[in-house]
Structure 1
Amino acid sequence: MSTAGVGTPEHIGVDRPVDRVVGVDGVPMSARCVYVEQPRAVVVALHGGATTSRYYDFPGLPELSLLRTGVESGYTVLAIDRPGYGASPDRDRAFDDPQRRVDATFSAVERLLEERSWGAGLFVVGHSAGCDLAVRMAADPRGDGLLGLEIAGTGTDKFEDALRIIEGIRATRNRSTIRDLLWQPEELYPEEVRGGRSLTSAAPHYETAVAVQWPRDFAQLAPQVRVPVRLSCAEHERVWRTDEEARTVIAGLFSSSPRFVDHTQPASGHNISVGFGAPDYHRSVLAFVEECITEVT
């Protein structure tokens, strides 16, 4: 990936997305970034499993981009390739330790911002498997300084059909049926991303453990989060239960959060940021960030 941009280094990525790579303890960490010289705040976006930061700025579909919507609204946005993805190799399973992933991501944010303004502070967005890292960052002592947290495409209990499909994948290693969970209804997605083939990336070793342990880890981590939280559920979510009972359980887990918001995104499937509903979803995320800024200023 390149750090090329127009002008001096401090202007790289100002007003338009660029790919950047920074070193964290000798390991390269990559990200897709867009900067505002005097931002309202900095949004850190963490993609889900088996994809990359392209999820938040898919080539050729600028109207769906969180980065482009963010910069238009006055926000710096850092879509980071989670540890083990992008430029960061899964060296000797170094990122199997969850704390190492948290530390590496906080360090990457600092290096990506360099001397740039943080505005009112950091706000973290996580999607699907990326919610593991997002919630861990918010539960970390450093997370108390965050403006807030947005999580989408996650939960504590899966639908029975989802469990059946996932077990079938484990037994046969045939992942084709995963599209029935993640990329349906098909008409809610542009043709360029349908089925996810154009977004697929190899996943690091630790991702399997995240998938298996997440409901338990979620229940342990959420009570440690002390900043405002919004849970977004796609109207057509097919992996995680989104009924009132399930959402009440999740709200109850964030017992230390000063505010919990339960949001439903209409006309959206699991991959909420690359469907036709993405522009509305991203605007709603930024509206929540703005609310969080107001609460601390």
Structure 2
Amino acid sequence: MGLAANPPEGHPVTAPAALDEFAFLIDDARDQHAAVPTVRREQLALDGSLVLSALVFGDDRPRAVFVHGAGLNAHTWDRTIIDLGEPALAIDLPGHGDSPWRDDADYSPETNADAVIRAIEHWAQAPVSLVGHSLGGLTAIHVAARRPDLVSHLTLVDILPGIGGVGRSALAPFYERLEFASVDDVLDHAVSFGLGGEREKARRSVILNTRTRGDGVVEWKHHMARIFSNSAPDDSPVEIDDDRDARALASIEVPVTLIAGSHGFLSPERIRDFAAARPENEAIVLDAPHNVQETSHLDLAHSVRASLPGRN
């Protein structure tokens, strides 16, 4: 199946809100005492009608590639990439950001890996340091297992096989409401669920992850909201195969770093199990929630910089 550029038939056609998507980079760089990166958005035509969108930071071919989690987009990595200070590629997974929705709702790690492999081949200088958060981490596992020639180092951000369902069950109630009167209405909803942290800091993420319909209604930009929600008729997401993900991780021979949030999805037991299974690899716990990259971006950037090809 291909991608649907708009919501499935019968759903309101939407258009992005009028906003420069890079408008926040100047403030982020100032707050982080770093240079404002050069960045451009590019599109990659895949097989058939498939299209993938991504942000390319810097002028040289990236050797750091970032893959976001479910319900997020490439901009979740902005602060980390600013701190990194190196050319980088941040991908919008299918159904997220500016990458159109799949009409088969297949956002499984194995299927996502097909698109990420093509993105690395097209935009990056392989082998790369591949960084994946949540669903993006499970996707990155399959990329590294399937194409070890493309990956020199894998960083998993607050995810291990068997954890993917935790986020889905936690977010389902949040996505029962899909339409909002304004960005402030979305913020009120997010704050009521304890998501997004401080209100004004969460505003940036909400603006970059929503779009405004022709009738003025604001809705989420990503498909996951509709397929996680019991209030929408969209197909349920393709189930994640935990055993397959675990086998893929076990097969990876390149170094793997686990970066866990102290109040994220991974229990201390799961982190210890990873360390025992891969004693030659590193497991780091940061004082952060599940979206480590949005609060502990400097520490994450330091780890990624150390993993870049030629830095070890």
User: Shared fold (TM-score greater than 0.5)?
Assistant: yes
Query: Relative to 1, partners in 2 of residues 1:94 and 1:191: Cα closer, same or farther, differing over 3 Å?
Result: closer
Which of residues 77, 80, 87 in structure 2 aligns to 1:66?
A: 80
Query: Relative to 1, partners in 2 of residues 1:273 and 1:97: Cα closer, same or farther, differing over 3 Å?
Result: closer
Question: Which residue of 1 is the match for residue 130 of structure 2?
Answer: 124
1:112-154, CA deviations, whole angstroms, 9 ceiling, x for partnerless residues? 24xxxx2x731110011211211111111x1254111001122
Alignment of 1:184-203 (within 5 A): 186=197, 191-193=200-202, 197-200=206-209, 201-203=221-223
SS of the counterpart of 1:155? Answer: coil
Query: Relative to 1, partners in 2 of residues 1:163 and 1:17: Cα closer, same or farther, differing over 3 Å?
Result: closer
| Larger CA deviation: 144-153 vs 84-93 | 84-93
1:88 aligns with 2:99: yes
Please identify which structure carries the higher strand content.
2
CA distance in 2, matches of 1:167, 1:51: 12
Confirm or deny: 8 A CA contact 2:41 2:56 kept in the other structure. Answer: yes
Deviation at 1:95, TM superposition (A): 4.3
The one-letter code sitting in structure 2 at the alignment partner of 1:20 is E
SS of the counterpart of 1:235? Answer: strand
SS of the counterpart of 2:200? Answer: coil
CA distance in 1, matches of 2:135, 2:252: 18
Deviation at 1:169, TM superposition (A): 2.4
SS of the counterpart of 2:246? Answer: helix
Question: Which residue of 1 is the match for residue 112 of structure 2?
Answer: 101
Question: Which residue of 2 is the match for residue 220 of structure 1?
Answer: 247
1:78 aligns with 2:89: yes
CA distance in 2, matches of 1:52, 1:46: 8
Deviation at 1:97, TM superposition (A): 6.4
TM-score (norm 1): 0.68
User: Once the two structures are aligned, what percentage of the paired residues are identical?
Assistant: 24
Query: What is the aligned residue count?
Result: 249
Query: Relative to 1, partners in 2 of residues 1:280 and 1:252: Cα closer, same or farther, differing over 3 Å?
Result: closer
TM-score (norm 2): 0.65
Which of residues 28, 44, 55 in structure 1 aligns to 2:65?
A: 44
CA distance in 2, matches of 1:17, 1:167: 31
Confirm or deny: 8 A CA contact 1:46 1:80 kept in the other structure. Answer: yes
Alignment of 1:1-297 (within 5 A): 16-26=38-48, 27-37=50-60, 42-57=63-78, 65-70=79-84, 72=85, 75-93=86-104, 95=106, 98-113=109-124, 118=125, 121-140=127-146, 142-155=147-160, 166=170, 169=173, 173=176, 183=196, 186=197, 191-193=200-202, 197-200=206-209, 201-204=221-224, 209=237, 213=240, 215-237=242-264, 240-243=265-268, 245-252=269-276, 259-266=280-287, 268-275=288-295, 277-287=296-306, 289-290=307-308, 293-294=310-311
Confirm or deny: 8 A CA contact 1:47 1:82 kept in the other structure. Answer: yes
SS of the counterpart of 1:66? Answer: helix
SS of the counterpart of 1:93? Answer: coil
Deviation at 1:220, TM superposition (A): 2.5
CA distance in 2, matches of 1:129, 1:260: 21
1:241-295, CA deviations, whole angstroms, 9 ceiling, x for partnerless residues? 331x2212233555xxx932100113x22211122x21222122212x14x6355
The one-letter code sitting in structure 1 at the alignment partner of 2:280 is R
Query: Relative to 1, partners in 2 of residues 1:181 and 1:144: Cα closer, same or farther, differing over 3 Å?
Result: farther
The one-letter code sitting in structure 2 at the alignment partner of 1:197 is V
